[in-house]
Structure 1
Amino acid sequence: MHFRKIALATALSLSAAIGVATPAFAQQTVTWWDFLSGGDGVRMKALITQFNEEHPDIQIKGTTLEWGVPFYTKVRTSAAVGQGPDVMTYHLSRLPLGLSEGVLTPITDADLENAGLARDDFFAAAEKAAEGADGTLYAVPFDIHSIVLYYNASYLEGSRFLDDQGKLTGIESVADFEEAMQVAADNGSQTPLTYATGDDGGVYRVFYTLLSQQGGTLISDDGEILPGDSREKAVKAVETMTKWQSEGWQPEQALYEASVALFTSGKSAFQLNGVWEVPTMKDLAEAEQLGFDWGAVEVPKLMDTRTTWADSHAFAIPTQGKDEMDPEKRKAVMTVIGWMEKHAIAWAAAGHIPAYKPVAESTEFAEMEPNATYSSLADAATYDPRSEIAGVASPVYDSAINIISPAMHGYLSPEDAVEQMTSELQSRMR
């Protein structure tokens, strides 16, 4: 015993002599998975690096996986055998499916306290979307991301749709919006409105926004597809999108990248797209490669009520097979989550609205444009239905590209499209 003490003391002395650091604590390594690429990925990696620099006792080991179905499939299979991460990014729209698969662990009040957070720190819509049916919290919202209406002011000059400061105004109904698109067409816009008319996400988000603005329900809490008068409202949404197509106001079968290029190249007066394209617009403007004044606003009230499709990136802790996470590891994970929330202003630079209200209501965020202009949507956001067949990369998205897109391109009537969509989605319900 005496010899071992001498050996240990000698080893420590040698380590000090050659400059090897000997930590006075047990370092926690937090295994992290995300699906963030592009500008989102760059920003998240920067946040992880900053956290690691500030926390020598907790180190995040991050891995980025492929977005969509591949990510969630890997989460499901790895969680079942205890080979998953300690923390992961998660779309709140996928939460119902995650709960049915048993891959998510509850986030307790004690967990939130360890993170320096509380439930009422978050916007109500996001916090609600992070709950299970019984009110248990299963994720911590990080942002609110939605579609917004981008506009090219040059096509609206001299019209009633620009105010004295050159900002978009006067769109309070679908008739107003269609008038603005015709003004833009008359002023030389080749495609007044652009969105991804040939991609599932672009079609679904516009359709769901128009349906929700009428007070329509896509999937009820008891699993009925388009209950009550929601079928008629869905038909009206498809009819509206079809009219935009037949009038030549929107592109035909545009894939995502092409739809963005129509706007950035100056051919479209309006773009319905996610807040995540704000950095693209800013970068092009700063590089003097845009050629027009642009802005982005909350999607106007085109139908009966003010609301917009939205989702949230969130943080979740997966199950560990049959094991439970070590309490000290879990405390380290919650420390990571709490730090990320309190530094969400850096994430907001990607166009997102922080779900954590102290950051969203900060002076720094109020000065961040155009985010501050459209941040009002956080109080009126409509999340995807709480269903296992809804959410990112789901059968609901599939029906948008396989049924709604062909309808608005004239291959079947809006009524037939809604009937097919109802039948298809009902067949997917368990």
Structure 2
Amino acid sequence: MTRREDTEMRLTKLLAASAIALMATPALAIENITWWDFLSGGDGVRMKALISRFNEAHPDIKITSTTLEWGTPYYTKVRTAVAVGQGPDVMTYHLSRMPLGLKEGVLDEITEEDLKNAGVSKNDFFDASVKAASGEEGKLYAVPFDIHSLVLYYNKSFLEGSRFLDANGKLTGIESLKDFEEALAVAKEKGAAAPVTYATGDDGGVYRVFYTLLRQQGGELIEGNEVLPGDNLQKAAEAIEVMTNWGKNGWQPEQAAYEASVALFTSGKSAFMLNGVWEVPTLADMEKKGTLGFQWGAVQVPNLMGTLTTWADSHAFAIPKNNKMSSEKRKAVMTLIGWMEKNALSWAEAGHIPAYKPVAESEEFKKMEPNATYSALANTASYDPRSPITGVASPAYDASINVISPAIHGYAEPMQAAEQVKADLENALK
């Protein structure tokens, strides 16, 4: 036998052995995970990219995602699906909806074993987000993904030459309501059509500003089963009065829908915008394209009423009850959640603060602006009251558009509006 023939024979035997080995190896088991979210716009694009990356990195797990309509339609579908045992394996959830979700019985407990399978622990998350994700008994029912809050955006051109812009072009000198209103007056003198813009004709925009001003006074919207008890009624009236005065002075837009309120700022007609961190990508993209026309920044809402705090909420991951999944699938779901948390830096590009502290405290995040500038708010965030009538698409939001919005436009006195909010929410609690 020649050397060549010997080599060919050896190669033939090797290939045959390999084929036999492959035949003996079972096919890779794939866990198919059904995912629901309510994320549209920039958030939706970023989440789809994260899911795609996860699928590529985990050939043994396949995520099939569905995006549903935000707000009431989403949570109604979740409730209905869970009731008939046809919900997803994992879903995004607002922590502000946690009390109602627990009352409706749609959320499964996230156990210590679950967290271990995700490679995380409760101590890895900001305390406020863990509390908001837990039931009254302390059990965890969701894993916080971010902290998103109201922040104060500013247009530097209206503040140049004033005491409100330092040598580095950073907002400064606003340490009280008096300071802020002085800055609004300066902007008005410089030609701002609406010195401060927010969605004055939208339930969410009105609620977030109102709740921030209430909480900055140390006020509570709901305590137990009581709405605005004691001096909280007066504090609510004072919050509404502040917003009303901004209208009387021509400092805020009238009946502005959400999109219009944002357009006032991006078109250079407002000095300030009170809005969520989720508008950071809008401004960053416009700046990158050269279509913004001014320099901007964003900071934590200053202490206007005595306490440094602001409205906040979180997107979180939850497992619906009645899911009937195997232990292997549940482990795959927690693997997914843990991976999302550890790769949250790209999610932070949407303006959010990662709820997972190892990412929020990383050097990479500390270089991310303006997120890093306002990230301290994670430690002073005010989540909605623990009540089934608060949170996204709730009676509290309804009261904001039906009662508070008309009041700040002059159709009711502040105390009258506060009393009506109290009556409406007390009725909703019955």
Determine if the TM-score, normalized by the shorter chain, exceeds 0.5.
yes
1:263 aligns with 265
Q: Aligned pair in 2 of structure 1 residues 306, 156: CA closer, same or farther (>3 Å)?
A: same
Could you say what secondary structure the match of 1:375 adopts?
helix
Could you say what secondary structure the match of 1:98 adopts?
helix
Q: Quick one: which of 235, 239, 242 aligns to 1:240?
A: 242
Query: Which segments of structure 1 move beyond 6 Å, counting only runs of 4 or more?
Result: none
Are 2:281 and 1:279 equivalent residues in the alignment?
A: yes
2:308 aligns with 306
Once the two structures are superposed, residues 300-349 of structure 1 have per-residue CA deviations (whole angstroms, 9 ceiling, x without a partner) of 000010000000000000012xx642111100000000000000001000
2:71 aligns with 68
Once the two structures are superposed, residues 269-307 of structure 1 have per-residue CA deviations (whole angstroms, 9 ceiling, x without a partner) of 000000000000000001010111100000000001000
> Which one has the largest radius of gyration?
2
Q: Distance in 1 between matches of 2:150 and 2:264?
A: 17
1:373 aligns with 373
Q: What are the equivalent positions in structure 2 for 1:18-417 lying under 5 Å apart?
A: 24-220=27-223, 222-320=224-322, 324-417=324-417
Q: Distance in 2 between matches of 1:57 and 1:166?
A: 50
Once the two structures are superposed, residues 77-121 of structure 1 have per-residue CA deviations (whole angstroms, 9 ceiling, x without a partner) of 001111010000000000000001110000000000000000000
Runs of 5+ unmatched residues, structure 2: 1-17
Among the aligned pairs, what percent are the same residue? 70
Once the two structures are superposed, residues 229-258 of structure 1 have per-residue CA deviations (whole angstroms, 9 ceiling, x without a partner) of 100100100000000000000000000000
Could you say what secondary structure the match of 1:61 adopts?
strand
Q: Aligned pair in 2 of structure 1 residues 25, 175: CA closer, same or farther (>3 Å)?
A: same
User: What amino acid maps onto 1:182 in structure 2?
Assistant: A
1:5 aligns with none
Q: Distance in 2 between matches of 1:177 and 1:412?
A: 25
- Note the C-alpha offset of 1:223: 1.1
The two structures have a TM-score, normalised by structure 1, of 0.94
User: What amino acid maps onto 2:105 in structure 1?
Assistant: G
Report how many residues are paired: 412
User: What amino acid maps onto 2:156 in structure 1?
Assistant: A
Q: Distance in 2 between matches of 1:147 and 1:405?
A: 18
- Note the C-alpha offset of 1:227: 1.2
- Note the C-alpha offset of 1:13: 6.8
Runs of 5+ unmatched residues, structure 1: 1-11
Q: Distance in 1 between matches of 2:52 and 2:202?
A: 34
User: What amino acid maps onto 1:299 in structure 2?
Assistant: V
For the aligned residues, what is the CA RMSD?
A: 1.5
1:7 aligns with none
Could you say what secondary structure the match of 1:126 adopts?
helix
User: What amino acid maps onto 1:297 in structure 2?
Assistant: V
User: What amino acid maps onto 2:422 in structure 1?
Assistant: T
Once the two structures are superposed, residues 57-83 of structure 1 have per-residue CA deviations (whole angstroms, 9 ceiling, x without a partner) of 011110000000000000000011110
Q: Distance in 2 between matches of 1:24 and 1:354?
A: 37
1:9 aligns with none
Q: Distance in 2 between matches of 1:304 and 1:147?
A: 17
User: What amino acid maps onto 1:36 in structure 2?
Assistant: L
- Note the C-alpha offset of 1:26: 1.5
